[in-house]
Amino acid sequence: MEYVIIGMLGAILILLLVLLIKPKEDHSSIERVSKLETEILKEFSEFTRTIHGDFENTNEKIEERLRLITEKVNERLDENFAKTNRTFTSILERLSKIDEAQKKIDNLSMDIVSLQGILTDKKTRGIFGEVNLEHIMSNVFGEHNTKIYEMQHLFPNGTIADCVLFAPEPLGTIAIDSKFPLENYQAMVNKKNSMEVRTNAEKLFKLDMKKHIDDISKKYIIPDVTSNQAILFLPAEAIFAEVNAYHTELLEYAYKKRVWITSPTTLISTLTTIQMILKNMERDKYAQVIHRELQLLDSEFSRYRERWDKLYRSIETVSKDVKDIHTTTDKITKRFNSINQVEMRSIDYEEDSFDS
């Protein structure tokens, strides 16, 4: 637009220069030029107003568009800021949870170190196994359920088992003893040790297991007192898995000695099975009681039926007698009525005779 205005101004200047250069006698040309100049100025004024109006409209549209763009940008910025704020808050929460988890891991590490320190002593390992065994028994059968199990049970031969399970026949009384052969097991599975050390530890581990199996078989399988089998409880799942995976000869040896090797998981499964057997036996016992009571009830009902039949026959006889008595009563009533009628007629006849 600016170039158009400049061009028009240039054209007017050229016309003025032409007027100045031409002779003054040419009045008609001057008049035409003046008219042309007037028209050009008039059109230029209108054009200027139009251009000014267009500029104002364009400026308003641009300002409106800029305002909309600014609002949109601000809206997007607010949304992004809110998302960023939420993300940052979530990150802070995650970091807080990570810190808490790290603290728990540190505490767990300290507990593991403490547990390792405890398990290095044979006596504390034995206590750990006994406590673990008692916890399993109480979870399956309930606390202090002496009808089903007993901790630290004393046998007539003077031996004390960690736990005794009073299972139903044909199992009978089963002794459960906790054993924890840890030192040689750790040396056997520690890959930092040399092959010679690990091989020697494996031999010692097998000797430990066989010794435990022999002790349980001799002490806790007592004729006419216990079942002909007993349970060796290993408190560590890792040791049980090692025996089952790589030392099946120990399982065969235990089988010959009538000793069953269990871990916490397998012991829970075994005890749960025994618990179901106990419940089924209890249910069968109650079913027998119910059957016996039903038989007694059947006998009582038979006697009731006989007595009811007798009563029914008696009621029938009484009913028949009542009917007969009712019939006799009707006959007697009719007789009395007949007699009364005869008397009344005789009285009427006497009165008639007396009047005559």
Over pLDDT 90: what percentage of the chain?
10
Q: For the residues 185-211, what does the mean pLDDT come to?
A: 89
* Residue 17 to residue 30: CA distance in whole angstroms: 12
Please determine, for residue 25, whether its predicted confidence score (pLDDT) is greater than 50.
no
Please determine, for residue 115, whether its predicted confidence score (pLDDT) is greater than 50.
no
Q: Is 155 helix (H, G, I), strand (E, B) or coil?
A: coil
Q: What is the mean pLDDT of the chain?
A: 77
Q: Tell whether the torsion through CA atoms of 167, 173, 178 and 181 is positive or negative.
A: negative
Q: Which of 106-110, 188-192, 224-228, 231-235 has maximum average pLDDT?
A: 231-235
pLDDT band at 82 (very low <50, low <70, confident <90, very high): confident
Quote the pLDDT of residue 20. Answer: 54
Query: Is residue 205 a contact partner of residue 184, using CB atoms and an 8 Å limit?
Result: yes
Judged by average pLDDT, the poorest of 139-153, 171-185, 271-285, 286-300 is: 286-300
Quote the pLDDT of residue 307. Answer: 77
User: Tokens 């040896």 sit at which residue?
Assistant: 253
pLDDT band at 223 (very low <50, low <70, confident <90, very high): confident
Alpha helices in the chain (DSSP H): 2-21, 27-119, 122-141, 183-189, 195-220, 237-246, 248-256, 264-355
Quote the pLDDT of residue 260. Answer: 92
Quote the pLDDT of residue 213. Answer: 93
* Residue 98 to residue 94: CA distance in whole angstroms: 6
Please determine, for residue 188, whether its predicted confidence score (pLDDT) is greater than 80.
yes
* Residue 40 to residue 8: CA distance in whole angstroms: 9
Quote the pLDDT of residue 237. Answer: 86
Please determine, for residue 21, whether its predicted confidence score (pLDDT) is greater than 70.
no
Contacts of 281 (CB under 8 A, 6+ apart): 168
Give the count of beta carbons closer than 10 Å to the beta carbon of residue 138: 14
Quote the pLDDT of residue 113. Answer: 41
**205-222: pLDDT as tens digits:** 999 999 999 999 999 988
**289-305: pLDDT as tens digits:** 666 777 777 777 777 77
**229-277: pLDDT as tens digits:** 999 998 888 888 888 888 889 999 999 999 999 988 888 888 888 888 7
Strand ranges of the sheet holding 160-166, from the earlier edge strand across to the other edge: 149-154, 160-166, 173-178, 230-233, 259-262
Instruction: Output 98 or 104, whichever has higher pLDDT.
Output: 98
* Residue 88 to residue 217: CA distance in whole angstroms: 65
Q: For the residues 170-198, what does the mean pLDDT come to?
A: 86
Query: Is residue 240 a contact partner of residue 251, using CB atoms and an 8 Å limit?
Result: no
Structure token digits, residue 308:
């009811």
* Residue 206 to residue 250: CA distance in whole angstroms: 7
pLDDT band at 114 (very low <50, low <70, confident <90, very high): very low
Quote the pLDDT of residue 254. Answer: 92
Judged by average pLDDT, the poorest of 6-15, 143-152, 160-169 is: 6-15
Structure token digits, residue 37:
């100049």
Q: Is 149 helix (H, G, I), strand (E, B) or coil?
A: strand
Instruction: Output 298 or 192, whichever has higher pLDDT.
Output: 192
Domain ranges of the chain: 2-86, 123-262
**338-353: pLDDT as tens digits:** 777 665 555 454 555 5
On the question of a cis peptide bond just before residue 181, with omega within 30 degrees of 0, the verdict is no
Residue 1's closest CA among 60, 52, 41, 39? 52
Judged by average pLDDT, the poorest of 11-15, 116-120, 228-232 is: 116-120
Q: Which of 36-40, 67-71, 326-330 has maximum average pLDDT?
A: 67-71
* Residue 24 to residue 314: CA distance in whole angstroms: 168
